[in-house]
């Protein structure tokens, strides 16, 4: 009796299946450079000569569950997001939004004047305005003639 070579002519190819498995593992466990995409909350940071602005997406988070702290050139946002309350007899069909506690710290390009930090929360977006410390602001030097 002749045995067919495995994976050839049968419509099933183990190498193709291993490739598909590798793609699925890469999707679930991203490479090191891609790990930042799982950080919560997602943040944008931009700076000008006087301040830095941090914008964070916090859908489903109540403003009173957010804690912001500043130390030197680092801002930390902590908080928690609760699960939706399901009614009796209801269960999840699909659940992708995480719940629980989170902490996110960012190092900023300069020291911050902690006493002058302002934060606004609107439509699930937190915006933090972090003014540059006086000691960090550029100073104009007058050149005198001798």
Q: Measure Cα distances from 13 to 10, 20, 28, 83 in Å.
A: 8, 11, 23, 43
Cα 78 from chain centroid (whole Å): 12
In order of their start, the domains of the chain are 37-83+99-136 (2.60.40.790)
pLDDT digits (tens, 9 = 90+) for 16-35: 888 888 877 777 765 554 44
Q: Going residue by residue through the chain (146 aa), what tens digit of pLDDT does each one get? A: 555 555 455 567 788 888 888 877 777 765 554 444 457 899 999 988 889 999 999 998 999 999 999 998 999 999 998 888 889 999 888 888 888 899 999 999 889 999 999 999 999 999 999 999 888 777 888 999 97
Rounded to whole angstroms, how far apart are CA atoms 26 and 9?
Answer: 29
pTM of this prediction exceeds 0.75? no
């Amino acid at each position: 009796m002749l045995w067919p070579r495995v994976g050839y002519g049968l419509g099933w190819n183990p190498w193709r299946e291993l490739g598909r498995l590798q793609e699925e593992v890469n999707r679930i466990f991203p490479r090191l450079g891609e790990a930042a995409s799982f950080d919560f909350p997602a943040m944008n940071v931009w700076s000008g000569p006087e301040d830095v602005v941090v914008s964070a997406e916090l859908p489903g988070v109540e403003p009173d569950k957010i804690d912001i702290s500043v130390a030197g050139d680092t801002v930390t946002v902590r908080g928690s997001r609760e699960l939706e309350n399901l009614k009796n007899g209801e269960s999840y069909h699909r659940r992708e939004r995480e719940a629980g506690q989170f902490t996110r710290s960012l190092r900023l390009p300069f020291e911050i004047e902690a006493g002058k930090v302002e934060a606004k929360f609107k439509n699930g977006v937190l915006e933090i305005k972090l003014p540059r410390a006086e000691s960090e602001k550029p100073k104009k030097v007058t050149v005198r003639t001798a």
